[in-house]
Structure 1
Amino acid sequence: MVAVTVALVVLGIDAMEALTREMTFGAVHGALHALQPSRIAIAIALTAGSYLALTFYDVLALRIVGRPLPWRTAALASFTSYTLSHNLGLSLLTGGSARYRIYTRAGLDAADIARVIAVASATFWTGIVTIAGAALMVRPGALALGGLVLAPVVLHGLGALVLALTVALVGLCARVRGPLRVWRLSLPLPSAAQATAQIGIALLDTGAAAAALFVLVPDAMPSLLPAFVLAYALGVVAAAVTHVPGGIGVFEAVVLALLPGDRTIILAALVAYRVIYYLLPLGIAILLLVLCEGARYRGWAARRLNEGREAAGGIAPPLMAVASVLGGAMLLLSGSLPALTARMGVLAAIVPLPFIEASHIAASLVGTGLLLLAPGLYRRLDGAFVAVRALLIAGALFSLAKGIDYEEAAVCLALVGLLQWTRAAFYRHTALTHTPLSGAWLAMLAALMAGVTWIGFFAYRHVPYDDALWWRFAWTGDAPRFLRATLAAAVLLTAAALWRWLGPTPAIVTTPADPGAIAAVLMRADRTDAMLALTGDKRFLLAEDAQAMLMYQLRGATWVVMGDPIGEVAAWPALLWRIRDMADRAQGRLLLYQVTAPVLELAIGMGLNIVKYGEEAIVDLAELTFDTPRLRSLRKAERAAARRGLTFRIVPAGAVPVVLDELEAVSGEWMQAKGHGEKGFSLGHFDRDYISRFDVALAMEGTRIVAFANLWLTANRREASVDLMRHRADAPHGAMDFLFYHIINWAQARGYARFSLGIAPLSGIAGRRLAPAWARAAALIFRHGERFYGFRGLRAYKEKFAPRWEPRYIAGPRGLALVQALRDLSLLVGSVPVAHDQVVIPGSASTHAPKARAAA
């Protein structure tokens, strides 16, 4: 998509070059200044009418989906959404985010917002297509599209076909009841009256927008209005299909190619139209939303609410990022255009020429810096806030120093004021060097630079270019100043791109945990999965009173917390909010993995999305008796293995080094038979130091070990479990059943309350028709994914022990971010463990070793 967008930008510039070859900047400038104020006022009024009609897109869409809201709420969402998407393109990421922010406050969920966007988009496209069909019907003469010439009869036939399809669409809405279903997606259909209203609103919007362009062409006759409407509609379609930000170049090229008349006057009208219909509403939208968000943040500061939770969803940072891009583009564009002669005469009497030359280059560098720092504002970095504020102030000063461009200085200072108003939204203390510059963002900047450069060459088309021009310094040397400023900006942009691709990846530094404090918390653990703290591949976050902790690891931009926090339950909320805040400030996403029901309320309060991961099999040892019909198959397997000569033995942690070589041989044989490597993070791995920390249960054939499992035992005897379970390839049938039988019996005899058989992933997830999409997908994988992983077989094996099943969950970000987080999780679990905070428990090899040795 990046490559296609860049290619389309290049093609658009090439088309503009061909269409404007006979024009001069002076002629366009003169035509622009010749526009009568009355025509500009009418164009502004028609623009207001078009955006007023746009607001009813959302009003009608909300009624169609059954979630009506007051007009003022729908109008704010619609206006801000369309101004952003009109100027930036990528409507789902720009306009969609504005709608999401406003509508979630109004009580709509993500599914309803998606339906509103879909219905509003359908209304917009229906209007564009319908008005294009009507224009084709009444347009006189042939239409030339490049080398293709369409005769009037063809145009009228196409127009009639489009209008017939529109009528058929309304008839379909009148006949069909219920939602439209595409695979498993449902979209409510409007009634015939609502469909007619949609088309009417869209015609008003599109007609007013096209008329705003029409009135800006002084010599346009009323008979040319159908041609203007058709050119406008096709230009909008081309801009939307190509995904070029704002359709810059593409929209203008299509309109210039299709409209008859003086192209110089039409280009001047297009420039004025771009300012009136695109930039002016965008400025109003940014002002409205930033003032609204700023007031909200200031109220938040007064109430001292949680900063990370309140600011994480704000729309002020992305809006100020857009404003930074516009400010940077304004400074770059100003550096590409001639200065006003009268102002330069005044300036010449005040400052020397070298100061003006340096200010011209500096202003373009400031513009490039604003473009490069915009992602930092989007990510709410306080460093980006400070840097952009300083650059805007510098841009205002350089604008005055290079040509008394007080209009640009006023815009820069206004942006400084808006930025300062939303100061509380920029709270992350991550270094600016940690801000990623994506390839797509750099491509967009390159496309913008290419467009600005073309405008500069268009403005100085009459200048004879030679090498000496680079070194020409004069009061009237606008073309040399343009070349030098463009080169400086291009060098800065190239350096940023090289730093992005070749520079080192910054690492997030965390404070090493105190092994003694971790060991003390592990002594309070109620669950055996707390022993994953000893694998050596975790980072730790301790409560302020060191009575609780959680373990986590970073993979990509994802902060994965392993299981529930450990220790005092009262400290869990503070720990989870701290890790939430740490991930947020580091521009990361938080994922809670394999958490239990007590954590759900906290996760929901933190704004995380809850997904069921599977179920854990628990055997209550206090009530267990093997003499029941449900455990008959287990008893039979144990007796058969015993008859083959298997015996059971527990090796205390202190004696494990004696049998370690043989355990490693068994593990290696098991790994080779399975054909995969060690896992990490959520599982233990065979490491000699790690295995030596735990008591080990053995199944022996004479003096030969045929199977083993290292034991996880809580110090308070609340739970027992096993970690690694490995056997030889020639182990007798039922060896693992034999081992489990005796481990459970051993734990029961020593007073442990329960025994965990581990988790069955994707188990217990209902895939019913009305269930969420993720639940239906999980149930499908559980039923049919046996060839990739033994989901059903694993649950069936654990069922032999007649356990009760407790749900386990994943809590993470919403939308596509959850998919990215799960991808990082799979890479983390599947990777070879890398030691981080190795925990050495003072005084013993295991948290429970003394008691275990005594029991043995």
Structure 2
Amino acid sequence: MVLQIANLDPRLIRRDRIGEALAWGRAHRRELAILAVLVVALLGFAALRAILAEVRLKEVRAALHAIPQIQIVAALALTALSYLSLTLSEALSLRAIGIRLPWRTAALASFTSYAISHNFGLTLLTGGSARYRVYASAGLDLGAVARVGLLSSAAFWGALLGVAAVALLSGGAPVDIAGAVIPAFAGQVVAVAVLALLALLFIVRLRGVEQVGVGRFTLPIPPAATMAAQLGVAAFDLAASSAALFVLLPEATPQTIGLFFLAYAVAVSVAAASHVPGGIGVFEAIILAITPASNGGVFAALLLYRLIYYVLPLIVAAALLASVEGHRLRRPIAMGLSLAERSARYLAPPLIGLLVFTGGLILLISGALPAVHWRIHWLAHIVPLPFVEASHFAASLAGTALLLVAPAISARMRSGFLAARLLLAGGIVFSLLKGFDYEEATLLGVIAVILQYCRPAFYRRAGILDAPLQRTWLAAAAIAIGLSLWAGFFAYKHVAYHDDLWWAFAWKGNAPRFLRASMGAAVLLGAVACWRLLSAPIRPIGNMVLPLQVADTALALSSRADAALALTGDKQFLIAASGAAYLMYRVRGRTWVVMGDPVGAFADWSELVWQIRARCDAAHGRLCFYQASNELLPLLIEMGLQVMKYGDEAQVDLASFTLEGPASKSLRHSTRKAESAGLTFEIIPAAAVPAIVPQLRAVSDAWLGDKGGHEKCFSIGRFDPVYLARFDCAVLRQEGRIIAFANIWTTRNRAELSVDLMRHWPDTPYGTMDLLFVRLMQWGAANGYARFNLGMAPLSGLNGRRLAPLWSRIGHAIYGHGEALYGFSGLRSFKAKFQPIWVPRYVATMPGLATPWAMINLVGLIGG
């Protein structure tokens, strides 16, 4: 072995290692992406620290107080103009894809999506989700919403590049970025190239190219006039948003506008590409690196700008939607909901969750900064020092807890609401006791009022630890604590750090208080993160074992043979109060997948369906009904689920089944061939099945090996001797050896007969399975069964026309072109030989973005 390894080509070893590394990277790409965002955020904070090395906190505070009120009012007005122009850009994007909606709809979608994405980055996941909620309430599908978002983004980036190019051309001087000088000629070449690309886009549109696309997804290229209007509106937005910062800068003059806008364009681009929430740290570092002004004054302007342009619109959006949602929840039942009410129902809790997160961030940053001298001096005459020390530490812990509670607010958890309300109230008290910080106490009070007004929206009874605290939330919380650490080290850069600081308690001991509070916040976040990352996401809910009496009663009333899936041992159950019906399901990820219809008394179906709906909603899950029948459709529609046809089920009428006639010619031929090969059919009673399990296992293992797969579950049974011993078994023998088998499902009222596991040796004679089914159907007809269920033909019978729903068109395409993956059409052709009646079966999921995630979890669950 040593010699073989030594003789291997080193290039092959390197190639294998590279392949392994790439595979590992693909498997952990989400964790790596989050780590990359954290690294970029740390680099931004480090760059800010280096740039502001000579700046003191007292200089920043003095610069903030020196900004005239008229300039603050101008920044507020320009911010309003910027967000207004974004709504116009949204309306133009709607027009470009041929959709006419009222301006107020576009305004609501635009304002809420940008208020979120500006603060928390990841535009597609944050702002894109908010945009979808509004437009889905207005009747748009996911494809149309994606086109609107892409066109708005394209207009923004086109305008940003275009205006930056004009700024480069008009400057005519080298650009200095933190000591790195870009020659004027190089900047002008880049500017000309950018303008040429924009001009080329207009030329392409004028020459008749109306859309671009990948696969079936197409994106229209707006007419030249509409495109020019979009770029103009986006340019106005950039002018207003950048001017809102420019008017706050010290030493701002008309001569510096060009260079400033170039710095602003670069900062916005890099901050967006970094995916750091709000570009915090990254945006400020780039502006400070390029802008030729005193860093203390510029940094003060940047802090005020972030409050005006980022935080204030988020508070306004949350307050607006919370007021609409709170009003809706307090009204008597109305005939219908307005668009704003339908949108607020989905958006208000996430926005309030983001506000709660912001409240936690405020407490952390405040705890990192020194108290105002006169306020702490005033408190010294009223409150003992231990109260101040304890309040300062408690405020930072409350801030960290608010960061962690925010996901529970977004998930409508009652426990999260109660915890956030208590933490906000405590934060207000701690803010006043630690330094009489009435400004932050007022902000926390506003958030608490908004939260309290929407109290009825938080109805889910799951525990706070069941909230979906995802890695992205933990990363955002880590960045928030990192920001507070940066603020503290910036404020106390003159302090000589040593071990004794941890135990220094004094009225002027701001730095020791910061260290203790930061340590407490970091330990709390680390402990919760470790616990949540190592714990299971969702606990099982429901009966894991079906009581024998319930099973006996419900199965006796069922006319569906697949009710026997309750005996596979891989499901959970909800049982009706009468004990005459049950519903079987399983949780995977956040998706609750219900298998088929409820089993048992039809009168209990509504109770069971609404019960699973309530439990799933309380656990913040996604509900999915799999292989639902026509009888269940009214209840699914009543619950507001999105119903999609999954395929057709083949049911053979045993009373009319025959091998006579031209339609059965192929069956007669195949069964005769199988019989001529010496195959014989036999029904093995359930009591005798354990004796033949070794032979059945050999058949099963050979069948699985030939298919190159593994056992499936949930919608079919596994090869389990205990499970197989519950049923009679149909076998085919050749010279006494079992070469094929199928366990038999029956209903007690003899309404239906079916099979579950169907397996055979790979080298069985032609017509083996045809013979097995034919003999089973003849046996069933002789024993009084009404029909034989051949099972599903997935994705068959779906409509692929242009006006059909998206799911139907996708399924139709897979059915037509996915034969190599599954054999969809071949499976239907096999079952069609028995002249069945095709009965539709459905999948029903929560509407919107929950659908694709539910389908992914469903496939994973069925695939084992």
Distance 1:389 1:311, change over 3 A: farther
Shift of 1:273: 1.1
State whether structure 2 residue 331 is matched by structure 1 residue 299: yes
Give the match for residue 543 of structure 1. 576
* Aligned partner of 2:168 among 118, 132, 136: 136
Counterparts of 2:389 and 2:250 in 1: how far apart (Å)? 38
- The answer for the alignment partner of 1:272 in structure 2 is 304
Structure-2 change in CA distance of 1:208 and 1:671 (3 Å): closer
State the one-letter code of the partner of 2:463.
A
The answer to whether the Cα contact below 8 Å between 1:31 and 1:268 also exists between their aligned partners in 2 is: yes
- TM-superposed CA distance for 1:749, in Å, is 2.4
Give, in whole Å, the separation in 2 of the partners of 1:214 and 1:474: 41
One-letter code of the match for 1:822?
A: M
Residue pairs, 1:570-649, within 5 angstroms: 570-649=603-682
Moved more, 691-700 or 626-635: 691-700
Counterpart-to-counterpart distance in 2, 1:664 and 1:631 = 33
Deviation at 1:356, TM superposition (A): 0.4
Q: What TM-score results when the alignment is normalised by the length of structure 1?
A: 0.91
Distance 1:816 1:328, change over 3 A: same
CA deviation string 1:58-111 (max 9, x = no partner): 222222222222222322221222111111111222222222222233333333
How far the C-alpha of 1:568 sits from its partner, in A, is 3.6
Alignment of 1:632-671 (within 5 A): 632-657=665-690, 659=692, 662-664=695-697, 666-668=699-701, 670-671=703-704
Structure 1 contact 760–791 (Cα < 8 Å) conserved: yes
Query: Comparing 482-491 with 101-110, which one deviates more in the overlay?
Result: 101-110
Matched with 1:726 is 759
- Residue matched to 1:446: 478
- Deviation string 1:769-807 (CA, Å, 9 cap, x unpaired) is 676665555455445545543434333322322223223
1:286 and 2:318 are equivalent in the alignment:
yes
Q: Could you say if the C-alpha distance between residues 312 and 795 of structure 1 is closer, same or farther in structure 2, counting changes exceeding 3 Å?
A: farther
Task: Give the distance between the partners of 1:113 and 1:705, measured in 2 at CA.
Answer: 57
Structure 1: gaps of 5 or more residues: 832-856
Aligned-partner residue type, residue 842 of structure 2: Y
Contact 1:293 1:315 in 2 (8 A): no
Of 216, 239, 247, the match for 1:215: 247
- Partner amino acid, structure 2, of 1:750: N
Q: Distance in 2 between matches of 1:537 and 1:42?
A: 64
Partner residue in 1 for 2:378: 346
The equivalent position to 1:687 in structure 2, one of 702, 720, 724, is 720
Task: Name the amino acid aligned to 2:557.
Answer: R
Gaps (5+ residues) in structure 2? Answer: 1-32
Residue 662 of structure 1, CA deviation: 4.8
Q: Does structure 2 retain, via aligned residues, the 8 Å contact 1:651–1:696?
A: yes
1:488 corresponds to 2:520: yes
C-alpha distance in 2 between matches for 1:505 and 1:554: 11
Verify: 1:378 aligned to 2:432, yes or no.
no
Mapped contact 1:133–1:159 kept (Cα < 8 A):
yes
Check 1:677–1:342 CA distance in 2 against 1; reply closer, same or farther (3 A cut). same
Rounded to whole Å, the distance in 2 between the matches of 1:806 and 1:48 is: 57
1:599-620 per-residue CA deviation (whole Å, 9 max, x = no partner) reads 3443344343444433222212
Residue in structure 2 matching 1:245, options 277, 281, 288: 277
**d(CA) in 2 for partners of 1:445, 1:470:** 24
Give the counterpart of 1:708 among 709, 725, 741: 741
**Distance apart, 1:181 and its partner CA:** 2.9
Q: Is the 8 A contact 1:173 1:195 kept in 2?
A: no
Q: Is the 8 A contact 1:368 1:493 kept in 2?
A: yes
* Distance change >3 Å, CA 155–CA 726, structure 1 → 2: closer
Query: How far did residue 291 of structure 1 move?
Result: 0.9
Whether the aligned pair in 2 keeps the contact of 1:377 and 1:384 (CA below 8 Å) is yes
CA distance in 2, matches of 1:115, 1:559: 31
Query: Is the CA contact 1:619–1:757 (under 8 Å) kept in the aligned structure 2?
Result: yes
Q: 278-287 vs 573-582, which deviates more?
A: 573-582
Is 2:433 the partner of 1:411? no
Partner of 1:224, secondary structure, is helix
The question of whether the paired residues in 1 share the 8 Å contact of 2:364 and 2:399 is answered with yes
Contact kept in structure 2, 1:719 and 1:754, CA below 8 Å: yes
Moved more, 731-740 or 455-464: 731-740
Matched, 1:42 2:74: yes
Secondary structure in 2 matching 1:176: coil
Deviation at 1:206, TM superposition (A): 1.0
Structure 1 pair 519/40, CA: closer, same or farther in 2 (3 Å)? same
Match for residue 847 of structure 1? none
TM-score by length of 2: 0.90
- Show CA shifts across 1:299-339 (max 9, x none): 3679999xxx9999621211111011110000001111111
Per-residue CA distance 1:187-208 (angstroms, 9 max, x = gap): 2332222112112211221111
Whether the 8 Å CA contact 1:301–1:424 is kept in 2: the answer is no
Partner of 1:471: 503
> Are residues 99 and 733 of structure 1, via their aligned partners in 2, closer, same or farther at CA, if it must alter by over 3 Å?
closer
Greater Cα shift, 322-331 or 227-236: 227-236
Secondary structure of the corresponding residue to residue 557 of structure 2: coil
Q: 1:517 aligns with which of 544, 550, 554?
A: 550
Q: In the aligned structure 2, how far is the partner of 1:61 from the partner of 1:80?
A: 16
Deviation, structure 1 residue 124: 1.7
8 Å contact from structure 1 (residues 436, 500) kept in 2: no
RMSD, matched Cα: 2.7
Where in structure 2 are the equivalents of 1:730-769 lying within 5 Å? 731-767=764-800
Moved more, 500-509 or 620-629: 500-509
The aligned amino acid for 2:176 is A
Deviation per CA, 1:618-645, whole angstroms, max 9, x where unpaired?
2122222210112112112323333444
Decide whether aligned partners of structure 1 residues 275 and 670 sit closer, same or farther in structure 2, where only a CA change above 3 A counts. Answer: closer
Partner residue in 1 for 2:430: 398
Deviation at residue 219 of structure 1 after TM alignment: 1.9
What amino acid is the match of 1:650?
I
Sequence identity (%): 49
Displacement after TM superposition at 1:475 (Å): 1.0
Letter in 2 for 1:628: G
Pairwise CA distance, 1:651: 3.5
Q: Secondary structure at the match of 2:620?
A: coil
Q: Deviations over 1:257-285 (max 9, x none)?
A: 11112222111111111111111222111
| Kept after mapping to 2: 8 A contact 1:294/1:316 | no
In structure 1, C-alpha distance between the alignment counterparts of 2:369 and 2:240, rounded to whole Å: 31
Q: Deviations over 1:423-482 (max 9, x none)?
A: 122121112222343333222221221121111111111222222222221111111111
- Per the alignment, do residues 102 and 794 of structure 1 end up closer, same or farther by CA in structure 2, a change over 3 Å counting? closer
- For 2:763 and 2:262, locate their aligned partners in 1 and report how far apart those are by CA, in whole Å: 79
Tell me: CA distance 1:386–1:414, structure 2 relative to 1, closer, same or farther (3 Å): same
1:316-395 correspondence runs (5 A): 316-395=348-427
Number of equivalenced pairs? 828
After superposition, the Cα gap between the structure-2 partners of 1:807 and 1:414, relative to the gap in structure 1 and judged at 3 Å, is same
Q: 1:312 to 1:43 in 2, by over 3 A?
A: closer
Task: Give how far 1:673 is off.
Answer: 5.1
Cα distance between partner residues in 1 of 2:37 and 2:107: 31
Structure 2 CA distance for aligned equivalents of residues 554 and 665 of structure 1: 32
Gap change, CA 1:272 and 1:285, over 3 Å in 2: same
Deviations 1:798-824 (CA, angstroms, capped at 9, x unpaired): 232222322323222456644443343
SS in 2 for 1:650: strand
Q: Would you say 1:804 and 2:828 are equivalent positions?
A: no
Which letter does structure 1 place at the counterpart of 2:464?
Answer: L
The answer for the alignment partner of 1:97 in structure 2 is 129
State the partner residue of 1:565.
598
CA deviation string 1:6-52 (max 9, x = no partner)? 11111111111121111111111111111111111111111122122
The Cα offsets for residues 563-608 of structure 1, whole Å up to 9 and x where unpaired, read as: 1222344443432222122112112222211223343443344343
| 1:89 partner letter | G
Q: Deviations over 1:232-276 (max 9, x none)?
A: 121111111111110111111111111112222111111111111
